[in-house]
Structure 1
Amino acid sequence: MLSMHTSFFTHPDLNESEIREKDSHDSRSDIPIPSLGIRGSVIRGSTSSASTGVSTDDASVDSLDWNGDKSPSVDQDYEQMKGYSHFDTAQLDDIMEMPKVEELDELDDDLLSIKQADVESGAPAAVPRKRGRPRKHPLPAPGGQAKVTKGRSKTGCITCRRRKKKCDETKPSCQNCQKNAVVCEGYPLKEIWKSGRQRQADAVPRSLPLLIDGIETDVDRRFLDHFVYGFSRVLTLINDDSNPFKEILLPMATQHRGLMHSLMCLSGSHLSGLDPEPKLRERKYFHFHHAIQDLKDNINASSSAKSPDEEDRLLVEDPIIASTIALSLNTICEGETNGEYRPHMDAARYLLLSQQPRNEKFRQFIVEFFQYHDVSNSLTSLDRRPNLLHNDLHMPDCVPGVSAGMFLGVFDGLFNYISQITQLRDRIRERFNEGYEPAVDYQTLSEAVSVDMAIRAWETSHEPDTPNWCLAQLYRQSTWVYLYRTIRPSRPSDKIAQVVDDGLDYLDQLPHDASAFSIVLMPLFLLGCSAFLVEQRQRIKQGFENLKSYSNLRNIDPAFKVVTRVWEIMDTRMQDSWDWEKIIRDMNMDFLIT
């Protein structure tokens, strides 16, 4: 660098050898001058290149040479300083401000040989990678932004505050929790202060009340549509708008929340059998629990509202009675076989015996419905006997035509004969268990003959060759089979085979989509318990399959299971096959075949 400065101020008339010799002298005489504070080589270079009369001979330059043994003398310094005494400051400034810059083409080799000094930059120096596994969370680069120390705050995450650790408050989850392998529970919601007027405005309920109690969700709407357009047609013979479940019960349910819960539970049980979607079953149980709770609340309220001078009976509204029968039907849809229907049927019996329904149309429906299920229940149990035998449950004052009935056998008197046959069976079973011989005494036989004559004389009011007429004939055949299996020994005969075949012929004449299939299970069960022939059993099995495809009621499978068990006993202990009520009890089953 010193040679570069010297060359910039060299006189233009000097040749290359003189320049090099001059540079060598300057390099040896680079000694500070105390009086000026600048290096002598720079001044010499400046004076030699200026256009003034400053001497640049060798004598003046060599006067400051140093042989390395001792420092220059004071006299030499003084003599050197006298050479510059005639320069003033302004003249020196002019010389320094106007240097003559020469072309460097001749000195390219010298310039390229000079090693460039390292220049510091703002970028951080590269740090060599240390040995070992790298960090999961690398350290920040040197020279990066320094971490700002925070003061104590209460805005840390929930996990760090519970663990009493310092939280770095990184959102959405802090890094401290991640480093310690714990789940960051996030940050508590910020509570925004609200004025009293704002809080009062927020407290105003924004939801509207329900139009119909019990219909709250989209699933409830599905239950309601299924009840109206699908399920109600498999419950009675009537398959139009006059169906009592749509004409009587549904309008009543729109005014009574408990009855609506009962009907929605009933519809949900049937629909969940067709579609096993979990939310359907969950919503069905919701309606069931609310229906039971509402039933209890209404009965308790009616009991506490009685005055001391009233008779000892419970006065309830008609929807309460309707809820009991809806819940009993729910056990059929669910296929329950442990006697779950009993409390509901007992409650309906008690309410009907203790009071008269206020609505006459509802009274006709409820009496027919209850007697049909009560009599049918006696065919499969040893301790359930219909109230019709004691005349405690009277018919409505205005009995509609039998052809307009919702069930078959109640208003036309056929179920009276079934009840009488059930009474004969109880007497025969009692004599048999006590060891009396014969089990069928003369009095029992005489009453059986009377019932036989009544069944032969029975006629239906339905038009011939219609589905309901064929169904009525099927009921007539099954009633006679019930009488024969009660009185006669349990063994194959031409009489029983002929009656069973005729009954199956009437069953085959029913269209598969006819509403008559809604009440086919009871007569089909009686024919099945009397089918001694193998070919008859195949037709019985097909009848159960057709019935299940029509109604999808889940009490059909338990009924066929009992029939299959009766067939097994027929083939092994034929004399015991007549008492299927006892067989059902031994199977630990208790259900309705309606």
Structure 2
Amino acid sequence: MPPERQPRTQRIVRVRTGCWSCRRRKKKCDETRPICAGCRRNDLQCEWPLTSSERRISSATHDAQGLFSTDRKSSHASSGEDLDGMQLPASPMSARHSSCSSSAGLSAVFEEPLAQAQVPVTVPVPIIEEIVEDVPIASSEAENAIATSQAIGHVLPRTMSMLPGYDPESYGLLSHYLSNTADVMANGTTPINPFLVQIVPLAFSSDLLLQLVIAQSAAHRAFRRGDDSDAVASSHYTKAIQLFRHGVSDFIEGKESNPLMLLVGALLMCFTETAKGDMTGTVFDHLSAAHTLLVKLLEQSDTAVPRELKDFVIEYYVYTATVSMISIDARLSGQLFLNFDLEQRARDILRTQYVGNLCGCWLELLLLIPCIFDLGRQWMMDDAPSTLPTADEMAMFASVQAQILRWSPYSFVEPEVYLAGFVFQQAMLIYLYTSLGGYTYAPDGMYRGLVQTAVTEALSYLEKISPQARINSGLCWPIAVVGSCLEHPEQQDSMRARLTAMAEHFGLGNMQRTQLLLEAMWELSPADAGPWNICRTMQAKQIWISFA
């Protein structure tokens, strides 16, 4: 048996003399000038650092700021000039700047210069350390030392990528997501943006989610540019759909047991439709997939998924599912996206006074939407509806109304969130009051009085919220409900101006399409308008919206 190796007791001291080629190759140099034996033997260029006297002479020719000379000619093979005589690229670090948005901590790493700031690295770190020690660098250029070391010899720089397999365009889109898209997707009710702290880490561990984040950003950017046929957005979204289908196949075949990535992927696809303005009702397909995956996820133990992430996913789904129900024709479909188990999970969150960046402080109100939808569906699908609702229908009506009127926003939330809660409350009352088909509708009847009172209250709260406030990103649903009942031209003008300002500021397609929908509804008679006719107007005008 060979003897065991003895542990090394002495530290290896790297020689800091010798030519650059030997240092890079980590070989001992015999220091023969002008060409050492190693370079002669391997037919390499032999370059030498300046001596102390040469540095003093060279530094005297520089200005007081220590800037590199730009008019010296490079002749590495014959003159043996050092790095001081080379024109060097500026460090990408100097081009980065922090964002003033709530995502500053992450967007500082992925700002727009990201597409150009792919740092080529060809020199090993130990060599870089030696170069920094041997070459005098002004203090203002200390952060450029690593970028400076890249230009040694005639070695062509090689790109180092943080996203292997993704082109520079993807860097720009990721930058746009971190500094822009993630901000407008969240309503700003909490200082922590889950679209950054929850979604981004998952995206860097999943090709599907990363592709969806990029696709969502591309859709958002395309809408801002007014380009409905943006090829980049379409390409990334197509790739994301392909990855999603592949992931579903693996999940069905048992190759993947954790549905988390697929679930978040399905929800991200819902919000991609929000960013571009869902024109075909695709969001319902994504919701159906998300429903199945969420049920599977909740069957797993809490240790499989962090509590904060699971709460956010539940909020994400509940919000998207409930506000999307208004787009379903209750006369033709009884489809519900929220079963009893999911509702109970959401109510468990409510016990902690949960405030989220999608449901704000009004999650309790959103959980009543399926109840109201089912109430209206039963009334409208009756083959021979009676003049008056049944006793059971009136009992359900009274119970839901009491819950809505009893609700109030948490006192500890921000003022804009507090006001937005009251906007949702009035919109819920309108949705409830119109659920039984306006059985007592008359120009001066009780039905009209109840609706118009809620409309007036909702508009008064909306006027106190700036159209540029982040909370507006979650207000398309109540705005559509309230707006569908506006009868006076001045009220319609005010809502039109608000939606225009919101779309210009946030760049979300669902805001623009909400305005198009309301424009179509304002042409109808009051009896044919209202929130329960939103789905019919969408079908007639082919204006499909993801209200999420």
| TM-score computed with the length of structure 1 as normaliser | 0.58
The residue number in structure 2 matching 1:269 is 219
SS at match of 1:222: helix
**1:244 partnered with 2:194:** yes
The aligned amino acid for 1:442 is: A
The match for 2:205 among 255, 259, 269 is 255
1:284 and 2:233 aligned? yes
- Counterpart Cα distance in 2 of 1:465 and 1:352: 31
1:416 maps to 2:367:
yes
Aligned partners of 2:362 and 2:421 also within 8 Å: no
Say whether 1:340 aligns with 2:275: no
Residue among 235, 255, 262 paired with 1:320: 262
* Aligned counterpart in structure 2 of residue 222 of structure 1, from 172, 192, 197: 172
Among 579, 582, 593, the residue aligned to 2:533? 579
Indicate yes or no: 2:338 matched with 1:391: no
How far, CA to CA, are the matches of 1:304 and 1:417 in structure 2?
Answer: 37
Q: Distance in 1 between matches of 2:320 and 2:404?
A: 21
> Cα 1:407–1:277, aligned 2, differ >3 Å: closer, same or farther?
closer
State the Cα distance separating 1:463 from its structure 2 match: 3.7
1:6-21, aligned counterparts within 5 Å? none
Corresponding position of 2:379: 428
Q: What's the offset of the Cα at 1:584? A: 2.8
Distance of aligned partners of 1:592 and 1:410 in 2 relative to their CA distance in 1, 3 Å threshold: farther
Equivalent of residue 320 in structure 2, options 353, 373, 380: 373
- Which residue of the partner structure matches residue 525 of structure 2? 570
Contact 1:325–1:344 (CA under 8 A) maintained in structure 2: yes
Change (3 A) 1:504 1:463: farther
1:65-464 aligned within 5 A: 210-213=161-164, 216-238=166-188, 242-275=192-225, 281-305=230-254, 315-356=257-298, 358-359=304-305, 360-382=307-329, 383=333, 385-392=335-342, 394-395=344-345, 401-402=352-353, 404-408=355-359, 412-431=363-382, 434-438=383-387, 440-463=389-412
SS of alignment partner, residue 378 of structure 1: helix
Query: Does residue 1:485 correspond to 2:439, yes or no?
Result: no
Return the letter of the residue paired with 2:231: E
Which residue matches 1:591? Answer: 545
With over 3 angstroms needed to count, the CA separation of the structure-2 counterparts of 1:588 and 1:384, relative to structure 1, is farther
Question: C-alpha displacement at 1:486, in angstroms?
Answer: 2.0
Give yes or no for contact 2:484–2:530 (8 Å, CA) kept in 1. no
Q: What's the Cα RMSD here? A: 3.0
**CA distance, structure 2, for counterparts of residue 451 and residue 556 of structure 1:** 29
Which residue number corresponds to residue 469 of structure 2?
514
SS at the partner of 1:460?
coil
Task: Sort the Cα spacing of 1:575 and 1:537 in 2 relative to 1 into closer, same or farther, 3 A.
Answer: closer
TM-fit CA distance, 1:389: 4.7
The 1-side partners of 2:319 and 2:273 are apart by 16
Residue aligning to 1:547 = 502
**Structure 2 Cα separation of the partners of residues 244 and 526 of structure 1:** 27
1:311 corresponds in structure 2 to: none
* C-alpha deviation, 1:398, in angstroms: 6.0
Partner Cα distance (2:509, 2:182) in 1: 16
Q: Against the structure 1 CA distance between its residues 231 and 440, is the aligned structure 2 distance closer, same or farther, given a 3 Å change threshold?
A: same
The residue identity in structure 1 corresponding to 2:370 is S
> Using a 3 Å threshold, how does the CA distance of structure 1 residues 416 and 305 change in structure 2: closer, same or farther?
closer
Q: Structure 1's 566 and 225: CA in aligned 2 closer, same or farther, altered over 3 A?
A: same
Q: Report the residue type matching 1:377 in the other structure.
A: S
How far apart are the structure 2 equivalents of 1:303 and 1:577?
38
**How many correspondences in the alignment?**
378
Q: Contact between 1:261 and 1:291, CA under 8 Å: does it hold in 2?
A: yes
Please give the per-residue CA displacement for 1:408-456, whole angstroms capped at 9, x wherever unaligned: 368741112222111111011112xx23322522321221111111111
In 1: Cα distance, 2:404 partner to 2:285 partner: 33
Q: State the alpha-carbon separation in 2 of the partners of residues 428 and 378 from structure 1.
A: 16
The letter of the residue matching 1:446 is: A
CA contact (8 A) 1:327 1:344 kept: yes
1:144-175 residue CA offsets vs partner (Å, 9 max, x unmatched): xxxxxxxxxxxxxxxxxxxxxxxxxxxxxxxx
Q: Is the 8 A contact 2:325 2:373 kept in 1?
A: yes
> How many angstroms does 1:519 deviate by?
0.5
Q: Tell me, in whole angstroms, the C-alpha distance in 2 between the residues paired with 1:522 and 1:226.
A: 26
Cα distance in 2 between the residues matched to 1:510 and 1:575: 26
Which of structures 1 and 2 has the bigger CA Rg?
A: 1
Corresponding position: 1:476 with 2:425: yes
Q: How far apart, in 2, do the equivalents of 1:296 and 1:574 lie?
A: 41
Counterpart of 1:269, as a letter, is A
| Aligned partners of 1:485 and 1:530 also within 8 Å | no
State the AA in 2 paired with 1:362.
Answer: L
Measured after TM superposition, the shift of residue 299 of structure 1 is 2.3
- The 2-side partners of 1:300 and 1:549 are apart by 40
Kept after mapping to 1: 8 A contact 2:468/2:502: no
Deviations 1:375-421 (A, max 9, x none): 11111212374443533454266668445322236874111222211
The change in CA–CA distance for 1:544 and 1:325 in structure 2 (over 3 A counts) is same
- Structure 1 499/446 Cα, relative in aligned 2: closer, same or farther at 3 Å? same
Counterpart amino acid of residue 579 in structure 1: N
Structure 1, gaps ≥5 residues long? 1-205, 307-313
Q: Tell whether the 8 Å contact from 2:433 to 2:450 is kept in structure 1 after alignment.
A: no
Instruction: Quote the offset at 1:276 in angstroms.
Output: 5.3
| In structure 2, C-alpha distance between the alignment counterparts of 1:538 and 1:290, rounded to whole Å | 41
Task: Give the Cα–Cα distance (whole angstroms) in 1 for the partners of residues 531 and 473 of structure 2.
Answer: 27
Residues 159-218 of structure 1, C-alpha deviations (whole Å, 9 max, x = no match): xxxxxxxxxxxxxxxxxxxxxxxxxxxxxxxxxxxxxxxxxxxxxxx966743346x333
Q: Relative contact order (alpha carbons < 8 A, sep ≥ 6): 1 or 2 greater?
A: 2
| Inter-partner Cα distance in structure 2 for 1:340 and 1:271 | 20
- Residues 480 and 528 of structure 1, relative CA distance in 2, 3 Å threshold: same
Q: Amino acid of the residue matched to residue 313 of structure 2?
A: I
Contact residue 266 and residue 289 of structure 2 kept, 8 A: yes
| SS in structure 2 at match of 1:516 | helix
Q: In 2, distance between residues paired with 1:513 and 1:497?
A: 26
- Specify the code of the residue in structure 2 equivalent to 1:391: D
Q: Which amino acid aligns with 2:258?
A: V
Q: CA deviation at 1:526?
A: 0.6
* Displacement of 1:275: 2.7
Structure 2: tracts of 5 or more residues without a match? 1-156
Give how far 1:229 is off.
1.3
Q: Structure 1 residue 465: deviation in Å?
A: 7.4
Partner of 1:122: none
Alignment-derived partner of residue 491 in structure 2? 536
Query: In 2, Cα distance between the equivalents of 1:563 and 1:546?
Result: 15
The separation in 2 between residues aligned to 1:239 and 1:574, in whole angstroms, is 36
